[in-house]
A and B are shown apart, each in its own frame.
Chain A
Amino acid sequence: MLILKMTLLVLCSVLAAVPLGNMIFRLAGIKNESAASMYVAGIISSMAIYEVVYLFLVFRYESLSKTTFIWGAEMLLFIVAGIVTGIVYGKKNKSMHDRLLDYFADIRVHHVIAVGVCVAYIIFTLVYQREYTDDSLFVGMASTAYSTDTLIRFSPFTGKQIELSYVAKYILSGYHAYMASVSAIFGVQPVVMMHNVLPVIIIAMHYIVCYRLARVILKNKKSADYAIIFLTIIDLFSMYNKFELTTSAWLFTGPWYGKSIIGNVIIPVLWYYLIRIMDEDGNAKPAKRMWGLVAVVHIAAALISTYGSIASATVTLCITIYYMIKNRRLSYALGFILSSAPSIALMSFMLYMQHMGVKW
């Protein structure tokens, strides 16, 4: 039964994320993205929507079920809109069916190997898992929210009642509550979801984003497939490494940890979107609305961890400065300011709390 629920969860993540991603891409003015890209954008958008709902409710000590309900209703709205626009676009553009057929007809051996090694990596991660004490905080927070129907009201360690300031460092990031909400919808314990379902989703997202970025850089499907095969080899060998601060090590050690999602999904996604926006040879889109997509990633990063909002703003700033100088376009600065506003606001709030003497 549990296996069935977990399979259903993975399946539903695809069924919900693809239309949601489609809707988000439409809003950003992008029409011809692949279903895999839509999936990544959809999952990230679901996180961003959750963060917005969470921030409004956490300081009012609202219940998890209320948060889940509001988030679920918003998600449903976007998903339905995504499906409707998908159908309308499909009717208008008959080549979509042909494109799907072309995709399957175009599958080559190197593509099958690339997908195969990624699947092997996912299986390896699922079978072999390290016991890591961080779980008592990150999984503990999700389990506590799930069991007590609260966002943050009880300590994940002993279960005693706490004030928000007790976990000041974590209150702005609703990742644990997001996990608890998804678990509650499917009736699966957060510990089961985070250890068994999330690695499948996160590792898949990691390789999809890397593949898309490799396609932009190498401008060739075959080379991008090779890059993914090589990347998996590097990821596999980094498991043995004692230098735990590599992103690959975290991809194996705990794909369910916020820091792993930031390093392996959010930052590569930012690279991909920002290069798509600003690099003229990287299929750059003139649509200013694409900065909105970057803003969505920033909000999702804030949901995942405090560090996420810092890292996403830093990466965006660095890449923007590079292209501002290279393309001699000052207008990118406006894009940076608008898209990074959520991260900057959260960082400022965090620093303000520190300044006010909240224990960090």
Chain B
Amino acid sequence: MMHEFFSQLGITYGYYFGYGFLALLLVAGAICIIYAGTDIQKRILVALPVCVIVLTLLNPVYYKLAGLTADYTYARSYWNVPFFLILACMWAALVRKAGKSKGIGISVVMVFMILLWGYGLGSVNSEHNLFYVRDNIYRVPQNTVDIADMITNDCDGEPVVYAPADICRFMRTYDADIKLVYHDWWKELSIDYGTYSVDDEELIVNYQTVYDFINADEINYKAIMQLQKLTGWNYVVLKEDSGQSVMQTEYGLVRLGTVDGYNIYKNVY
């Protein structure tokens, strides 16, 4: 248990402070405050955070209790202390104590250190595309909005949609009147798992099969149509290169249009 506790403590520290620049700045700030701060600053900026850390993060009993409630409770225990505000207050207190010229010097060094922490030493989060302006006020991918609009404008009753994962993902955050056959994030299906008999053939329905029918490189048109009989989807969205697909020629679906390389079909039967 203790090994697990210390291992989790290290992981959590890494998630919060990363390479430790801010932790270093906090320790340096705390030393300065102990040396030159007022009583209330010593109490709130140093003693109180230490007390909270000791009672929570460094406490194996707390770790055990936190684990009972949710797996992320302990990992978020760093949030119990507003570290960044404390650092900012330490900084402001030192600038005030040091006077104008020294204060500017301290500020320049601090900005440089924070820049290093945030931007330097390979910590830049390049794999996430952080800074881009969303196309619309809903902050939902534009192709999802266009497809949802096309379907709701066409549908008289209740639209049930079967679509690739990246289209499903935010469809219902934009328009919750649309029902989906499955959702990839929660791995949820609108029907129960099982083996169903459709047109005298057996169709295995579980999350993976329903996902693969429409998301695999080779779209399984037949299974998609079999699934229509089970789930009652009335719109299907397919990522296809050709304009005229099997869905129209063989299964008689009506193509509503194409959005961003996705063909949207309506089942008129």
Contacts and interface: CB of A to CB of B under 8 A. Distances in A.
Which interface class (under 10, 10 to 19, 20 to 34, 35 or more) fits B? 35 or more
Contacts of B18: 241-243
B9 interface: no
A275 B115 CA distance: 32
A157 interface: yes
B88 A228 contact: yes
Contacts of A34: none
Interface string A229-249: 011011101111111111110
Contact of A219 (B17, B40, B56, B125): B40
A115 interface: no
Given A143-B176, A350-B69, A233 B111 contact: yes
Nearest to B53: A318
A321 B79 contact: no
A318 B89 contact: no
A287 interface: no
A86 interface: no
B138 A189 contact: yes
B16 A315 contact: no
B80 A315 contact: yes
Interface stretch (A20-28, A40-48, A96-104, A263-271): A263-271
A281 B137 contact: no
A196 B137 contact: yes
A272 to B, nearest CB: 10
Interface string B1-34: 0000000000010111110001000000000000
Contacts of A169: 70
A318 B96 contact: no
Interface string A155-188: 1111110000000010000000000000000000
A19 B199 CA distance: 66
Contacts of A219: 38, 40
A136 B169 contact: yes
A147 B177 contact: yes
A36 interface: no
A144 interface: yes
B169 A133 contact: yes
A243 B14 contact: yes
A246 B16 contact: yes
Most buried by B among A127, A155, A234: A234
A141 B70 CA distance: 20
Contacts, number: 254
Given A136-B170, A237-B115, A281-B40, A214 B92 contact: yes
A85 interface: no
Interface in A301-360: 306-307, 310-311, 314-315, 317-319, 321-322, 326, 347, 350-351, 354, 360
A139 interface: yes
Nearest to B87: A234
Contact of A158 (B69, B84, B89, B188): B188
Contacts of A235: 84
- Interface residue SS majority, chain B: helix
Contacts of A317: 55
Interface in B121-176: 123-125, 128-134, 137-141, 169-170, 172-176
Contact of B69 (A234, A238, A351): A351
A222 B93 CA distance: 10
A242 B124 contact: yes
Most buried by B among A239, A243, A244, A262: A243
A243 B75 CA distance: 12
A192 B40 contact: no
B173 A158 contact: no
Contact of B79 (A133, A239, A244, A267): A267
A140 B172 contact: yes
Given A214-B88, A217-B44, A128 B189 contact: no
A259 interface: yes
Contact of B110 (A191, A210, A230): A230
A248 B88 CA distance: 13
A318 B84 contact: no
Contact of A241 (B73, B75, B125): B125
Nearest to A167: B186
Contacts of B169: 133, 136
A2 interface: yes
A213 interface: yes
Given A191-B173, A233-B111, A157 B180 contact: yes
Contact of B125 (A223, A233, A240): A240
Q: Count chain A CB atoms within 10 A of each CB in B119, B131, B176, B180 and give the residue with the most.
A: B176
Given A217-B45, A237-B115, 12 more contacts: A144-B176, A146-B176, A160-B179, A191-B173, A210-B82, A230-B91, A242-B125, A263-B79, A310-B73, A314-B77, A317-B55, A350-B69
Interface of B: 12, 14-18, 22, 38-41, 43-45, 47-48, 51-52, 55-56, 62, 66, 68-70, 72-73, 75-80, 82, 84-85, 87-89, 91-93, 95-96, 107, 110-111, 114-115, 117-119, 123-125, 128-134, 137-141, 169-170, 172-183, 185-186, 188-190
18 contacts: A129-B134, A136-B170, A136-B172, A140-B173, A144-B172, A192-B137, A216-B40, A216-B44, A217-B40, A228-B88, A231-B84, A231-B85, A234-B87, A245-B78, A281-B40, A307-B69, A307-B76, A311-B76
